[in-house]
Amino acid sequence: MSTASTGSRIALRQVADLPCPRGLPLLGNLLQLSPTRLHLILERWAEELGTPYRFQVGSIPITIWTDTELIQQIMRERPHRYRRYQPIEAVLEEMGCNGLFSAEGAAWETHRRLVMQALSIPNIKAFYATLSDITQRLRTRWLRAAERGETVEMTDDLKRYTVDVTCALAFGEDPRTLERDHGVIQEHLERILPSVMGRINALFPYWRYFKLPADRKLDESLEAVHRYVDAMMARARERMRDDPSEMPRNLMEAMLVQQQQPGEHGGAPITDAQIRANVLTILLAGEDTTADSIAWTLPYLAADPALQTHLGEEAQRVIGNAPVCPDYATLKELDIFEAICIEATRLRPVAAVHSFEPLEDVVLDDVALPKGTRMFFVARPAMVDAKNFVDPQRYDPWRWMRKGEHAEHAEHAGAHDVRAYLQFGAGPRVCPGRHLATVEMRLALSMLMNEFTIEMAIDPAKINEVSAFTMVPDTMPVKLKKRVRAAV
């Protein structure tokens, strides 16, 4: 048994000793859970019961944690001592999406190396011209909407943006969803994660025995997405046959090259199904997370015209009259555009719940956790705790800017514990897409503030947080107004 506690002899608690919200016999807390509001329910119980606590799905206890230090430790002790929550792998496997995110052990290590390389800083730097093109298409779409006085559903446009970027970078193909109105792959992708959420939290896997209309729709979407990926794979093979020089040029090609080689340690080489699963993983992992992080930033900007003015001036200083940030090197002058998004996700965490299971019996804090105990880490409490972030409920992007600079905004000296911001995870499984995501934040938000002022088209209090595997806004309608600048 391993221990995470450093204290001397303390009486151990068992999982059954942890506080639990009152539930029903046999069902436990099942009827109090709603998959789409899961993070909100878990946060409320954490406030009432403290942490760790447990809730019961039938006879299965699920333990809930909010302590950053413990979770940092768990995240670092992967893949050998902890794994992701097992139902995630089972549900994604059934959907043909068991790639890097859900794989464990040796399969995880092989895929991790390939994906890390594909999303590395040098690769993103080399990809900048395409990133810039795609951001210009987003600009064109928004200019048209501003001209016509249309309200823009930002979650939709931003997902088109992130799908185009991810496909172009990882698979060498740009689906150009930003230029089309309907029939885009993203319409199918967006059905998948909410279904994953519902299924991993279900008491009984009913869909294996009968299908509801929503399950049939999901099947249609999975089929469409698998067909799409297969066609992409076939085209990549053709390109590689026609032009075998300088391979591999992207993740898809790297996986296809790997397929030609004998498996590591004499094992089987990777299969088409594994490649397909990884392609889908990257698409799903790169789409919502980044798009919704950017979308959650918008109400904070809309509520603060002075901040918008400042951001507009800053964007103008760096970008000038270019349509988007002109080159990769200049991105480093756009720190504030990353900070406005990171600060928004501190208050509105897209990764609201992280889940784990120990692979052996462990002691965590003073609790004995048998192998396989289900564990959820709820992210927001630590990020809105004054011990970690001074004046925690206040939206204050300047807290993320380097000390010394921006002294005029430094009224908030005080707690700033970046270890409590676990939106990209930590340790060996830390998000491999975080650099790409922050580049997208900088590019899209600096273009937005250089070109437009924004207003929310509905009362922001009416925008709901929805647990859909990631934590997404149910809508983000925005009115864009072209900035008028005095001629120089």
- Which residues contribute to the site for ligand HEM (CB under 6 A)? 75, 100-101, 112, 115, 119, 166, 281-282, 285-286, 289-290, 293, 350-351, 423-427, 429-433, 436-437
Q: What six digits make up the tokens of 349?
A: 């965490």
Tell me how far, at minimum, the Cβ of 181 lies from ligand HEM, in Å.
24
186 vs 257: CA distance, rounded Å = 27
Looking at the Cβ atoms of 145 and 445, the one nearer to ligand HEM is 445
Looking at the Cβ atoms of 69 and 366, the one nearer to ligand HEM is 69
373 vs 408: CA distance, rounded Å = 49
Looking at the Cβ atoms of 28 and 78, the one nearer to ligand HEM is 78
Residue with the two structure tokens 């090197």: 329
Tell me how far, at minimum, the Cβ of 76 lies from ligand HEM, in Å.
9
Residue with the two structure tokens 């970027």: 165
Residue 200's contacts (CB-CB under 8 Å, 6 or more residues apart) are 85, 87, 88, 91
Looking at the Cβ atoms of 80 and 317, the one nearer to ligand HEM is 80
Q: What six digits make up the tokens of 248?
A: 């591999």
- Cα separation values, 168 from 42, 231, 241, 276, Å: 37, 15, 19, 16
Residue with the two structure tokens 């403290």: 50
391 vs 386: CA distance, rounded Å = 6
Please classify residue 231 by burial: count the beta carbons closer than 10 Å to its beta carbon, then call 0-12 exposed, 13-18 middle and 19+ buried. Answer: exposed
Tell me how far, at minimum, the Cβ of 278 lies from ligand HEM, in Å.
8
Tell me how far, at minimum, the Cβ of 402 lies from ligand HEM, in Å.
21
CB neighbours (10 Å) of residue 181?
A: 6
Looking at the Cβ atoms of 46 and 436, the one nearer to ligand HEM is 436
Pairing, β 13-14 against β 374-378? unpaired
Please classify residue 62 by burial: count the beta carbons closer than 10 Å to its beta carbon, then call 0-12 exposed, 13-18 middle and 19+ buried. Answer: buried
Q: What are phi and psi of 468, to 5 degrees?
A: -135, 50
Q: What six digits make up the tokens of 107?
A: 């399969």
Tell me how far, at minimum, the Cβ of 356 lies from ligand HEM, in Å.
8
- Look at residue 446 and give its three-state secondary structure: helix
CB neighbours (10 Å) of residue 459?
A: 8
Tell me how far, at minimum, the Cβ of 360 lies from ligand HEM, in Å.
19
Looking at the Cβ atoms of 123 and 281, the one nearer to ligand HEM is 281
* Buried b / exposed e along 210-228 (16+ C-beta atoms within 10 A): eeeeebeebeebbeebbeb
Tell me how far, at minimum, the Cβ of 262 lies from ligand HEM, in Å.
24
Query: What is the radius of gyration, based on Cα positions, of the chain?
Result: 23
200 vs 45: CA distance, rounded Å = 20
